[in-house]
Amino acid sequence: MFRIYFVRRLRLVSIFEFRIYIPVSPPTLELEKNLWRRGYRHVAGLDEAGRGCLAGPVVAGAVILPQGVMIPGVDDSKKLKAARREEVFEAICDRAVAVGVGMCSPEQIDLMNILWAAMEAMRRAAATLAPGPDFLLIDGNHCFPKSPWPYQTVVKGDAHSHTIAAASIVAKVTRDRLMHRLHEEFPAYSWRQNVGYPTQAHYAALAAHGPTPYHRRSFRLEPR
C-alpha cells in the first residue's frame, strides 16, 4: 500500500491511498542455470515439510531435474491445493532424474530439536538420490553439518528455485499421505484435515485424550 502525504501547518495529512498488486512469478531455473554453466550436472533442490506440526515426523524432499527442464505446475507447495499438489508430485516423479525422501521421527525431533532434525531429514533425503547430487540448493539459511556436497542456502528458496519448489512438493505430499494413514490409527486428532498442525480440533483432542506416541513431547501441546 502506498500513501501520498503533504504537510499543512505541521500536521501530516493523507490525500489518498491506493494499492498496487504485482503478480508473483513462479520459481525459475536461474540458480540452477548458473550452476550448470559451472559444470555441475546433478543439482539437487532440498526442502522440508512439517516443522511447525505438533505430531508426526519432519519430512524432507530432494529432487534432481534434467538440465533445462521445467515441470508445469511446480511452485511453492503452500500455494497449491492438495489435489493439484498430488498431480504435480506425480509429474515430478515421472520426469525427475532422481527423487529422494528423508525424515526424522518425533523422538528424534525431541532429541535434536526441530531445526537440526529438519537438517538431518534433508541430509537423509540427499543421501538417497541416485544418481547422487554434486551440488545442493537448500531452502532456508542453514545446512546440515559436514555436508559432503557443496551447497547454497536460499531463503524462501521454494519461491525462487524451480528445483527447491519441486522438493517442497515431494516433502509435503509424502508427509500428508503419511499423516492420513496415521489418522486411521488415531482419528480423534483430525490428522486427515490438519496433518498434525496446531488447530482448535487438534488441541481439543489433546485435552480430551492426551498425546499419542506420534506427538512431539518437546513442543507445547496446549494452546497459549
Distance CA 155, CA 153 (A): 7
Distance of CA 46 to the CA centre of its chain: 9
Residue 210: band (very low, low, confident or very high) from pLDDT cuts 50, 70, 90: very high
Nearest in space to 215 (alpha carbons), one of 207, 206, 117, 224: 206
The whole-number pLDDT of residue 82 equals: 95
Distance CA 117, CA 99 (A): 20
Q: Where are the domains of the chain?
A: 30-209
* Cell numbers placing 22: 504485482
Q: 174 has which bridge partners?
A: none
Supply the pTM of this predicted model: 0.89
Q: 14 has which bridge partners?
A: 5
Q: What is the pLDDT of residues 134-146, one digit of tens each?
A: 999 999 999 999 9
* Cell numbers placing 11: 500536521
Other beta carbons less than 10 A from residue 204's beta carbon: 14
Phi-psi map region of 156: left, alpha, beta (phi>0 left; psi -120 to 50 alpha): left
Level-2 CATH architecture, domain 30-209: 2-Layer Sandwich (3.30)
* Half-sphere exposure (Cβ direction) of 76: Cα atoms closer than 13 Å: 13
Q: What is the pLDDT of residues 80-125, one digit of tens each?
A: 999 999 999 999 999 999 999 999 999 999 999 999 999 999 999 9
Residue 6: band (very low, low, confident or very high) from pLDDT cuts 50, 70, 90: very low
Question: Distances in Å between the alpha carbon of 171 and those of 108, 135, 149, 224?
Answer: 18, 19, 20, 28
Report whether 45 contacts 30 (CB < 8 A): no
The whole-number pLDDT of residue 224 equals: 85
Q: What is the mean pLDDT of the chain?
A: 91
Distance CA 61, CA 89 (A): 11
